[in-house]
Chain A
Amino acid sequence: MSLDILVPMTLTVIGAATPLLFAALGELVVERSGVLNLGVEGMMLAGAVVGFIAVAGTGSHAFGLLAAALAGAGMALLFGFLTLTLRANQVATGLALTIFGIGLSALIGVKHVGIPIPALPKLDIPGLSDLPVIGPLLFGHDILVYLSLALTIGIAWFLARTRQGLILRACGEADLSAHSIGYHVIRVRYCAVLFGGAMSGLGGAYLSMAATPMWIENMVAGRGWIALALVAFGSWRPWRVLFGAYLFGGVTILQLYLQGSGILSIPSQVMSMLPYLATIILLTVIASGSWRGRLDAPACLGKTFSPPS
C-alpha cells in the first residue's frame, strides 16, 4: 500500500477513534469509581447539539467546547442526583438518560438541522505540518485529538500514581471500606460522574464540530454504546481503551474503504453493520479468551451505595 493512501486512511482512523476515546475514557473513570452510567449516548448527544449551537451562535470553538463539556456534565449531574443521592437503579437511570438525551437533543436542535458551521481548525505548526508524511500524520490535527491523547496519559497517571486516584479506585473496589476509613464515597463518585459527563460531551462535540461540522438528529448513532463496550474491552485500563478506540477507528475505515473501492458489491447497509458486529465479537472475545477482561471489573460496579447508619 502506498503512502498516498496510508496518510488519509490514518487521518480517518483518528477521526473515528477520537470521539470514542473521549467518551470511553470518561466512562472508565466513572466505572472505576464504582458507578455504571449507561447514559453515555445521551450525554454525547447533549454535548454534540449544545456545542454545535454555541459555535453557530458565537463563532467561537473554544466556547463551543466549553458549552459541550458543561452540557454533558449537566446531564451527568441529573444521573448523579438520581443514582447517588436518591439511590435509584443505575441501569434504569442510565437508560432513561439516553432516552431523554435523544429526545432533548432533537428538540433543541430542531432549528439547526443541516446548517454547516466552520470545522474545528487544525493546529498548523508552520514547518512541521508541511513535512511529507510525518507532517500530516503527527502535526496536522485539531486540538481535541491531542487533548484525547494527553488525557489518556493523564488518566492513567492519575489512577495509578496519585492519592486521589487511589481513593477513587477504593470507592470502586470496596465502597464500605472506603467509607469506614473516612472517604466520602458519594462525593468522589459525584466528581467521577461529572467528569465522565464532560468527557462524553466533548466526544459528542467532536462529532458535530470536527468530524461532520453540522447537527444531524441522533448523529451519535450508537457510538455512546460502543464507548461503553470499549471500557469493558479495555478491561478498565486507559491504555487498552486507547488501543480499542483506534482499533474501532480501523473498523470504520475498513468499512468506508471497501464501500468506496467498489471491489465488493456489498450493500452499504451491510457495511454499516460492521462496527456493531465488531463490538459484539470483541465483547465475546474478551469475555471468553485469555484477556479475561471481565475479571478486572471494579467490584462495586453498578451497585448502589447506602452508607451504613
Chain B
Amino acid sequence: MALRFEPRKGTSRAMLIATPLLAVLLTLVAGVILFLSLNIEAGAALYHFFIEPLESLSSIGEVLIKAAPLIMIAVGLAVGFRANVWNIGAEGQLTLGAIASGGVALAFWHSEGAYILPLMMLAGILGGMAWAAIPAFLRARFQVNEILSSLMLSYVAGLLLSTLVYGPWKDPEGMNFPQSRMFNDSETIAPLIEGTRIHIGVAIALLVVLVAAVLIERTLVGFEIKVAGLAPAAARLAGFRQNRLTWLSFLLSGGLAGLAGMLEVAGPIGQLVPVITPGYGFTAIIVAFLGRLNPIGILFAGLLMALSYVGGENAQIAVGLPRAATGVFQGLLLFFLLATDFLVRYRVRWIHRGRQEVRS
C-alpha cells in the first residue's frame, strides 16, 4: 500500500477552514506529549493554559490587550504576504513606534492636554512607517532581499531602544534603572472597562480588521495584491507595479506595527523599558498564517495566540512550565498548519499494491 497525492482542481474550501482547526488539535496532542516528557500533569497544564485565562473578567481583558497588537500587526503583514512582500521585521517597526511615541511623551512631559495622545499615536505610526520604509526602499530601488534587511533592522531597533533607555532617556530620578520616566496622565491611555486593563487598542484592532477586510475584498488595490501574489507574471502584464505594492505593504504593516508599539508603551507599560514586547512582531507572522492571511481569520487566530501567551504565564506560575514552552507551541502550531495545508491543495489516496500501477 502506498500514499499518493493527487492535486485538487481548485483549493478545497472545507479544508481551508478545517486545517487550522486540525493544526490546533495536533498542537494540543504534541503539547500533552511535551508536558508528559517534562513530568508536568497534562490535565492541569492544559487547564491553566486554555481555561483559566477565560474564567475572570480581568484575565479576559489580558487576553484582549495581548490580542490587539498581534491582530493589528498580522493584518498588516498579511497584506504584504499576499503580495509576496515578506516583511518579517515588524518587531523592529513596533519598537520604533514605541520609541517615537515615547520620545513625544518625554518631550511633553511637563505639559498636559488632550492633544498629546493623538500626537503620540501619530508619532508611533510614522516611526513604524519610517523603519519599514528602509527595507521597502532597498527592495524597490536595489532589489535587496527584504526578509534579511527587515530582520536585521529588528535587531538594530532593539539596540536603539536600549541605547536610549540606558543613556539619554533614562529617568533622572529612577535610581539608575534602565527605564524612562513614567508618562504623565495625559500621555497614557486609561482602561475602558473598570477592573480590567482593556484599552482603546482593542477597539482599534477590530476597526483595522474591518477596514482590511473591505480593502482586500472590495477594492482594486486589494485585487492587485492578490494577483501579484498568486500570479506575478499576470500582474506584470496587467501593468500592476510591484514596487508600488512593496511600498504599500511595508508602509501599511510598518504603520500598524508602530501603532501597536505606541499602544503598548502608552497603555499597559506607561514608560519606555529595554524590552517592550514578548515577540509580538514575530508571533504576528504565525497569526497571519494561522488566520489564512484573511482579516477575519486573523481576528480569531490573534485571540487564540493571545490566549496562549496569558495561559503560558499562568502555567509557568502554577505548574512550573518553562517560559520557552510557549515558543515551542507557537512553532509547532505553524508547522502543523503548514503540514496540513497540503490537504487544501492535494487529495491523499491510498494505492493498493496488489493492482498494477500505471506510471506516467
Contact = CB atoms under 8 A, between A and B. Distances in A.
Contacts of A62: none
A267 B153 CA distance: 18
B160 A287 contact: no
A277 B325 CA distance: 31
Contact of A273 (B7, B155, B285, B345): B155
A91 interface: yes
B156 A279 contact: no
A303 to B, nearest CB: 12
Contacts of B88: 95
A36 to B, nearest CB: 9
Interface band, chain A: 35 or more
B335 A225 contact: no
Contacts of B331: 96-97, 99-104
Contacts of B144: 280, 283-284, 287
B324 A110 contact: yes
Q: Which of B282, B338, B346 has the largest number of chain A CB atoms within 10 A?
A: B338
Given A95-B285, A99-B331, A273-B156, A107 B147 contact: no
Contact of B330 (A92, A103, A279): A103
Nearest to A95: B285
B334 A283 contact: no
A228 B149 CA distance: 11
Contacts of B215: none
B64 to A, nearest CB: 23
A287 B144 CA distance: 6
B169 to A, nearest CB: 12
A113 B249 CA distance: 40
A272 B159 contact: yes
Nearest to B333: A96
Interface stretch (A82-90, A118-126, A145-153): A82-90
B246 to A, nearest CB: 14
A110 B326 CA distance: 14
Contact of B332 (A86, A100, A280): A100
B240 interface: no
A283 B134 CA distance: 13
Interface in A266-301: 267, 269-270, 272-273, 276-277, 279-280, 283-284, 287-288, 294
Nearest to B167: A267
A216 interface: no
Interface of A is mostly: helix
Interface in B340-360: 341-342, 345-346, 360
Given A82-B335, A82-B338, A279-B148, A92 B142 contact: no
Contacts of B286: 96, 99
B338 A270 contact: no
B275 to A, nearest CB: 12
Contacts of B7: 306
A88 B345 CA distance: 10
B166 interface: yes
Contact of B342 (A38, A88, A280): A88
Nearest to B341: A88
Nearest to B151: A225
A75 to B, nearest CB: 11
Nearest to A229: B148
Contacts of B338: 82, 86, 88-89, 92-93, 96
A273 B328 CA distance: 28
B227 to A, nearest CB: 18
Contact of A104 (B285, B323, B328, B342): B328
B339 A82 contact: yes
A125 B135 CA distance: 48
Contacts of B328: 100, 103-104, 107
A309 interface: yes
A86 B151 contact: no
A166 interface: no
Given A103-B325, A110-B322, A309-B360, A273 B159 contact: yes
A246 to B, nearest CB: 19
Interface in B124-154: 134, 138, 141-145, 147-149, 151-153
28 contacts: A82-B339, A86-B341, A86-B342, A92-B289, A93-B338, A96-B335, A99-B282, A99-B327, A100-B334, A100-B335, A103-B324, A103-B331, A104-B324, A104-B331, A106-B323, A107-B324, A107-B328, A232-B148, A267-B163, A269-B166, A270-B159, A276-B152, A276-B155, A280-B152, A283-B138, A284-B144, A287-B142, A288-B142
Given A82-B339, A217-B324, A269-B166, 17 more contacts: A38-B147, A88-B338, A91-B86, A95-B88, A97-B331, A99-B330, A103-B325, A103-B327, A104-B328, A106-B324, A107-B324, A225-B152, A229-B148, A232-B145, A280-B148, A280-B153, A283-B149
- Please provide the 6 A-B residue pairs with the shortest distance between their CB atoms, ordered closest to farther: A103-B327, A100-B331, A106-B324, A103-B328, A96-B334, A88-B338
